[in-house]
Chain A
């Protein structure tokens, strides 16, 4: 009976020492490095899985459908209005100098180089990184991931690689569509607010673009797709704390993926400009 919990009520628990600031910083740094290591391993493995089978082609197609077709409405709607609002903002400035004809140039360059890839990345991250994290997180807490492993399936191949590959393949396509629909939005706004000619807008927009701009605009989304999918998978597969943890992981996935996309965009732009000067 001496082992019954009620009998232990009189015992005073040993006092815990208050953690020092250095201890907290050290444990935080340790956690951060361990997290980085885990994420790097997951991201690296998602690519090396492509070197050997088994391949889950149907899962890749399902993910392309889910991420690509599923994100199409928000990307198109946002693209149209981003293009339109750019014309409204820049047109007012160009009108002061009587250079409204340049609107097409500005919209095309800004959309193709920066806004198209970045906004698509952020929008798809908001929709899909959260979806991936919550789906995988729920699978983890309900032991479905363990069940998969128990049946001889590698979750990295079955769950991570199809999502990463799906995102890497469709985010550039979504970006191209956003660029196009953004230009349509810009064109509509130009015609109705600046009284520009449709042909003039499109001629200037197309002429403003060089091969390097399109390369820059189409290569960034590949990285953004990779970032949003790997972050979603990482956050989902490292969920701690049951369903509450799934909610936390979902929020963290969106925030982290969006921030990383914006940070990566700066470095990718610098790299693209450097390469444009060297190659194109």
Chain B
């Protein structure tokens, strides 16, 4: 994978939501959502259950169409695209589902290789890439296991391996640590940091756990030392530049958008509920 382009042209938003609405028979869930994420940056979509975090990610991945507004991802205006075009577009996006969403009738290796097989790559090329992706998530010994034989944390890690197999420039994470114990959650966050800091992946992370967002903002993965270090300990010229911002969703709109420090110092009663 080549390092990301840092030219001015590359600074156009990788993901841009402009007044996005989404409704179902039961009512409107997204009521004018607007945000943007620059290449290599991380956006933490924070919100309570039912505020539209997952739906926002699904719109960004082209899995749902907004009922109004514009969603632009990698320079492509999604609402004008046919389903056939969207299928091609989605191959450029990595998506980590909340429970992993692994194909339960396939082995771990087949799950990870799925996208490559869809692209009709030779088996000779597929095997090393599958092993590399599983080595990245430290699960290279699970190739022949079925998803039902894995723990919840392992399933999420396989899901991350599956999402990164074709090195997408954007990865969307839907509550990747939900329901996991603190140690496993930390492992998952470390993997997301590695993906961001080694490959320069643009990330949107939907979560209701504030600590996940602050971990993304305050830590970096040092590829040379192969460990997670504090943001302040990283030499700027050695690291891929990346900014982490928060967007707090409330009732289908962005209630707060800003830097982690702004959120930490907020006096807003609603936002303070996340800080407790």
Contact = CB atoms under 8 A, between A and B. Distances in A.
Contact of B90 (A3, A142, A144, A152): A152
Contact of A144 (B58, B83, B101, B115): B101
Contacts of B114: 151
Interface in B78-117: 83, 87-88, 90-91, 93, 95, 97-99, 101-104, 114-115
Contact of A150 (B83, B93, B102): B93
B269 A1 contact: yes
B126 interface: no
B203 to A, nearest CB: 15
B101 A153 contact: no
Contact of B98 (A143, A144, A149): A143
B63 interface: yes
Contacts of A148: 103
Contacts of B269: 1, 3
B115 A151 contact: yes
Contacts of A139: 103
Interface in B262-276: 269-270
Contacts of A142: 99, 101, 104
B237 interface: no
A143 B97 contact: yes
B97 A152 contact: no
A8 B121 CA distance: 58
Nearest to A138: B104
A114 interface: no
A151 B90 contact: yes
B118 interface: yes
Contacts of B103: 139, 144, 147-148
A212 B187 CA distance: 68
A3 B270 CA distance: 8
A65 interface: no
Q: How many A residues are at the interface, by size bracket?
A: 10 to 19
Contacts of B83: 154
A142 B100 CA distance: 9
Nearest to B114: A151
A133 B65 CA distance: 26
B61 interface: yes
Interface residues of B, number: 23
Given A3-B269, A151-B115, A151-B118, A143 B101 contact: yes
Interface in A129-165: 138-139, 142-144, 146-154
Interface in A74-89: none
A146 B118 contact: no
Nearest to B58: A146
B87 A146 contact: no
A145 to B, nearest CB: 9
A143 B55 CA distance: 13
Contacts of B118: 54, 151-153
Contacts of B93: 150
A149 B102 CA distance: 13
Interface string B61-74: 10100000000000
A138 B95 CA distance: 20
B108 to A, nearest CB: 14
Nearest to A158: B118
A149 to B, nearest CB: 6
Given A3-B270, A147-B103, A153 B87 contact: yes
Contacts of B87: 149, 152-154
A148 B61 CA distance: 12
A72 B238 CA distance: 65
B104 A144 contact: yes
Contacts of B63: 146, 149-150
Contacts of A146: 58, 63, 97, 101
A213 to B, nearest CB: 41
A150 B90 contact: yes
Given A1-B269, A151-B90, A152-B91, 19 more contacts: A3-B270, A54-B118, A139-B103, A142-B99, A142-B101, A143-B97, A146-B101, A147-B97, A147-B101, A147-B103, A150-B93, A150-B95, A151-B114, A151-B118, A151-B162, A152-B90, A153-B118, A154-B83, A154-B87
25 contacts: A3-B269, A3-B270, A138-B104, A142-B101, A142-B104, A144-B102, A144-B103, A144-B104, A147-B97, A149-B87, A150-B90, A150-B93, A150-B97, A151-B95, A151-B114, A151-B115, A151-B118, A152-B87, A152-B88, A152-B90, A152-B91, A152-B115, A153-B118, A154-B83, A154-B87
Nearest 9 pairs of A and B residues by beta carbon: A147-B101, A143-B101, A152-B91, A150-B95, A152-B90, A152-B87, A151-B115, A143-B97, A144-B101
